[in-house]
Chain A
Amino acid sequence: MSRTLILSIGSELRGDDGVGKAITARLRISNSLPTGVEIVDCGTGDLSTILMRPDIKKVIIVDAANMGLLPGEWRRILVNDNISEILSEGDRENSHGLGIIQTIVLSKILGTLPEEIVIFGIQPQNIEYHRGLSSPVISTVTEVCKAIHFELELTQTEEDPVPNYLFAQFKLTESHI
């Protein structure tokens, strides 16, 4: 049976960088996730093996993303539509473990890339070392959860994916702050 994987990435010790975990924690207790959906909180661990599973058809990544937007604003980003752009960026290796961009590039090269990867990026306000989310980011958690539920319903009914919000093209990189 093909499965959908929801991944949260980030450190809950760095303020709004913990928004991914906050969202997947909310999804986990919602009791309304379809069967075949698995949630993994990746924290700040190495991600190199996460896309190696052959049973995974779709991956939803929830992460803080610096998009030049107002804190708390979020975007849905289809990775597969922009894979060539990501491939050109993915060789910038500047971390200890492999981040999500490098993992996507690596799994593309090794032929293990899932059919569909969607990123829900949330603009943070503050990622200095401290615990807790900022007010604008807290207030967006429910909205992103709703959007992910909608995404999962579409996956279940095998309808066409919803289009990207607002932007068709983008450049995706990863920094280590």
Chain B
Amino acid sequence: MAESRTKDLDINIHYITRVEGHGNIVVNARNGILEQCDLEIIESPRFFEAMLRGQPFAQAPTLASRICGICAVAHSTTSHRAVEKALDVKLTQQTELLRRLNYHGEMLDSHVLHAYMLVAPDFLGVGSVIPLAKTAPDVVLRALRMKQLAGDICAAICGRHTHPVGMTIGGFSHFPEKEQLLQLKDRLQALSSDIDATVELFQGLNFPDFERDTEYIALWKEDEYCFIDGQIKSTDGGLWPIEEYRNITNEYQQQHSSAKHARNQRQSYMVGALARFNINFDQLHPKAKAAANALDIKPKCTNPYLNTAAQVVEVVHCVEDAIQIIDRLLDAGIRWEEPTTPQRYSGDGAGACEAPRGILFHDYSIKSGYITEANCIIPTGQNLANIEADMRSLVPVILNTSQEHISQQLEMLVRAYDPCISCSAHMLEVKFV
């Protein structure tokens, strides 16, 4: 890898590939001393909170689900929880199980996308999933099979593959048939060979050997691997109710970033699959723990590149937990339920869920049925300071390798966090000739 000693370094990677939105990596070193090491976020402000203000409360989750096509279920579920807490809406056990099942669909979809299509190409020596499809079509078809099932879970529960419409305040407006649940269970069980092959594939990848201890923060529940509700927990110690999220995120501005940074008990913290893995390992399904063992990852893991390995562990967990949830729904008998009605039409509520890439907060004030204030804190914003801290720790270690190698390692590092810098407008460009 290292051919030349690099005392001066000028890296300016415009538009990091295979991440959502626009981010640049800027690194400068003079005489071997690191002078600048930034992850520049150059997205324009998005004004989602302004779009939520003035909307009737029932409209908020629909709008929120459009913030991101990859995390649509996470935004919608978090928005629902914020409204339901503000208006004191209690949920039935069936509703909670259906939401968890729906959530597993999105988690599976997003993790498979990230691990197979965005990260694996780096390790398999190809530029993207397109050449990978030429050299290893079986690998890509396996990923697509898993993603198809993940989307079908969301469609069965919420009526659509993405941007769910079946969830409503207090419950659901759409319920799966018993036969649908049985079919999903059969397909999830039949997925075992694909899951085994996935663990085997990532077991064989040579993740960079880089460690940096940091604070890890995730939602936590005593009795389940937590994706929805729970409390906020830190590996540095501390357990807080969701309502105190502002005291944990402590957002602040940085000149080189249009997105706010966050810090808690140190200068930065990490959220996402690795944070969940470090905090909630005990609540993982036994098969997921076995997968972690096979992938040689155990808590507390401090290698950010292994966020992808933690995602693979969560893929195993989500599949197994989804089967158990379907069994519970079938045992209880899936049935039509009227959504629970609000106890009031004014109030404040903060909802939190674990989006695939970390904790997501939605906090609303509602007055006479209309949203008057909204605050949304996304996981990637919380990770930005930690990514930069990793970069500052990593660059001096590899400073004497080639510039190309340093650039590649930094891009892979940013990509490992699975960042979602924005929800881009996917604009077709047509040039007539």
| A contact residues vs B (CB 8 Å cutoff) | 9-14, 17, 40-46, 48-49, 52, 63-68, 75, 77, 90-91, 93-102, 105-106, 109-110, 119, 121, 124, 127-131, 166-167, 169-177
Establish whether residues A45 and B432, one from each chain, have CB atoms under 8 Å apart when the complex forms.
Answer: no
Please provide the 8 A-B residue pairs with the shortest distance between their CB atoms, ordered closest to farther.
Answer: A96-B20, A44-B69, A45-B162, A45-B69, A176-B424, A65-B428, A93-B128, A67-B430
One of B46-54, B169-177, B198-206 at the interface: B46-54
Report which of A44, A110, A170 forms a contact with B137, defined as CB distance below 8 A.
Answer: A110
Interface residues of B in 380-418 (CB under 8 A from A): none
1/0 contact string of B59-71 vs chain A (CB within 8 Å)? 0000100111110
Establish whether residues A100 and B428, one from each chain, have CB atoms under 8 Å apart when the complex forms.
Answer: yes
Interchain nearest-CB distance for B155 vs A (Å) = 10
The reply on B31 being an interface residue by CB < 8 A is no
- Which residue of B is nearest A52, CB measured? B144
Interface residues of B in 10-40 (CB under 8 A from A): 15, 17-22
| Other A-B pairs, 16, CB within 8 Å; known A11-B423, A41-B160, A170-B431 | A13-B51, A13-B63, A13-B66, A45-B163, A46-B69, A46-B147, A52-B148, A75-B430, A93-B18, A93-B127, A93-B130, A95-B18, A97-B113, A110-B133, A170-B430, A173-B428
Complexed CA–CA distance, A20 and B145 (Å)? 27
With A64-B427, A169-B433 in contact, is A48–B113 under 8 Å at CB? yes
Complexed CA–CA distance, A105 and B68 (Å)? 24
Query: Which residues on the A side are within 8 Å of B431 (C-beta)?
Result: 67-68, 170-173
Interchain nearest-CB distance for B128 vs A (Å) = 4
Complexed CA–CA distance, A173 and B431 (Å)? 8
Establish whether residues B137 and A109, one from each chain, have CB atoms under 8 Å apart when the complex forms.
Answer: yes
- Which residue of B is nearest A40, CB measured? B161
Interchain nearest-CB distance for B392 vs A (Å) = 25
Give chain B's interface residue range (CB within 8 Å of chain A).
35 or more
Establish whether residues B429 and A45, one from each chain, have CB atoms under 8 Å apart when the complex forms.
Answer: no
Query: Which residues on the A side are within 8 Å of B161 (C-beta)?
Result: 40, 45
Query: Which residues on the B side are within 8 Å of A64 (C-beta)?
Result: 425, 427-428
Establish whether residues B127 and A66, one from each chain, have CB atoms under 8 Å apart when the complex forms.
Answer: no
Establish whether residues A17 and B118, one from each chain, have CB atoms under 8 Å apart when the complex forms.
Answer: no
Question: Which of A9, A41, A49, A101 has the most CB atoms of chain B within a 10 A radius of its CB?
Answer: A49
Query: Which residues on the B side are within 8 Å of A128 (C-beta)?
Result: 44
Query: Which residues on the A side are within 8 Å of B66 (C-beta)?
Result: 11-13, 43-44
Complexed CA–CA distance, A102 and B132 (Å)? 13
Complexed CA–CA distance, A102 and B130 (Å)? 8
The reply on B266 being an interface residue by CB < 8 A is no
Establish whether residues B130 and A10, one from each chain, have CB atoms under 8 Å apart when the complex forms.
Answer: no
Report which of A10, A96, A177 forms a contact with B70, defined as CB distance below 8 A.
Answer: A96
